């Protein structure tokens, strides 16, 4: 299992309803989610969100929109496609009336150029056309606006690409969702035991050692679901950002297993 949690695609993939099942079952807000959010958005301190508007592409149950609002963001839009995900997001984000939750695909963004920030956490690597999804995010922010993504890394995940991904594509992603969920108990238990026995080779394992069994199971289940899961090298992530026309591109190695990337929409660039 890739051992990286993420949000539901919200971008027109066949996995959308499967992630919706997940976020219908694992919709509770947890304090550790803030730690994860801060790692996935390393370019932003809490004070950087104050007064900003944002769009969260593939919001899942709303946990990654929740934290910017607590930091003082002005509001914005959280989008996804599955109704179970959206129902959970609306419950979790109900305290923030300036933040709308809507059913929308990344492919359907209207390019209104009205947000200060567009971000997508754990989504772009699950869509069929990541270039189009990212280009639409760029058009959604004002000139000079910030675009951020978090995606799976190829580095330290090659064993997953070669061994787990074929099993996921051929079996887990094709089984009835309830069956896949039931099966997730076994690898989750193996992971829990390995962590208790000292698995700590990379930073991600040291982080998730803090998680309880239910949280670990949600991570494992999350990785058994998708029909599409790309694992990109640093160079591939940077190229994706640059193809979208972003300037001032920066990347950050997250938990020694994934990449966070940010860039700015050029002022006066094509819209």
**pLDDT tens sequence across 122-139:** 999 999 999 999 999 999
pLDDT of residue 151: 97
83 in Cβ contact with 168 (< 8 Å): no
pLDDT greater than 90 at residue 84: no
Q: What confidence tens digit (pLDDT) does each residue in 155-165 have?
A: 998 888 888 88
Does 29 or 13 have the greater pLDDT score?
A: 29
pLDDT greater than 80 at residue 180: yes
The pTM for the full model equals 0.84
Count of beta carbons in the 10 Å neighbourhood of residue 70: 12
Task: Give CATH 3.40.50.150 domain extents, the chain.
Answer: 16-153+229-264
Please tell me the distance from the alpha carbon of residue 157 to that of residue 177, in angstroms, as a whole number: 25
Task: Round to the nearest angstrom and report the end-to-end CA distance of the chain.
Answer: 39
Please tell me the distance from the alpha carbon of residue 98 to that of residue 75, in angstroms, as a whole number: 5
259 in Cβ contact with 232 (< 8 Å): yes
Give alpha helix (H) positions in 199-262: 203-208, 213-224, 234-243
The three-point CA angle 85-89-93 to 5° equals 180
pLDDT of residue 222: 77
pLDDT of residue 1: 31
Task: Name the CATH topology of 16-153+229-264.
Answer: Rossmann fold (3.40.50)
């Amino acid at each position: 299992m890739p051992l990286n949690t993420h949000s539901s695609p919200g971008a027109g993939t066949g996995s959308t309803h499967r992630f919706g099942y997940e976020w219908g079952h694992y919709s509770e807000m947890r304090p550790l989610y803030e730690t994860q959010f801060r790692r996935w958005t390393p370019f932003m301190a809490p004070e950087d969100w104050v007064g900003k508007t944002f769009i969260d592409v593939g919001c899942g149950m709303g946990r990654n929109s929740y934290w910017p609002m607590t930091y003082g963001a002005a509001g914005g839009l959280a989008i996804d496609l599955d109704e179970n995900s959206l129902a959970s997001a609306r419950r979790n984000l109900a305290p923030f009336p300036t933040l709308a939750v809507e059913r929308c695909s990344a492919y359907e963004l209207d390019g209104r150029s009205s947000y200060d920030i567009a971000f997508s956490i754990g989504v772009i690597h699950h869509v069929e056309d990541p270039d189009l999804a990212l280009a639409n995010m760029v058009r959604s922010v004002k000139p000079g606006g910030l675009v951020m993504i978090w995606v799976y890394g190829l580095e330290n995940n090659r064993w997953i690409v070669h061994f787990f991904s074929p099993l996921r594509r051929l079996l887990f992603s094709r089984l009835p969702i309830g069956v896949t969920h039931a099966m997730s108990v076994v690898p989750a238990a193996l992971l829990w035991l390995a962590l208790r026995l000292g698995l700590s080779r990379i930073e991600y394992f040291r982080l998730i050692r803090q998680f309880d069994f239910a949280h670990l199971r949600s991570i494992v289940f999350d990785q058994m679901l998708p029909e599409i899961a790309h694992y990109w090298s640093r160079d591939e992530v940077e190229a994706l950002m640059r193809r979208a026309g972003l300037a001032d591109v920066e990347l950050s190695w997250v938990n020694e297993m994934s990449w966070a990337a940010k860039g700015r929409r050029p002022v006066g660039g094509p819209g």
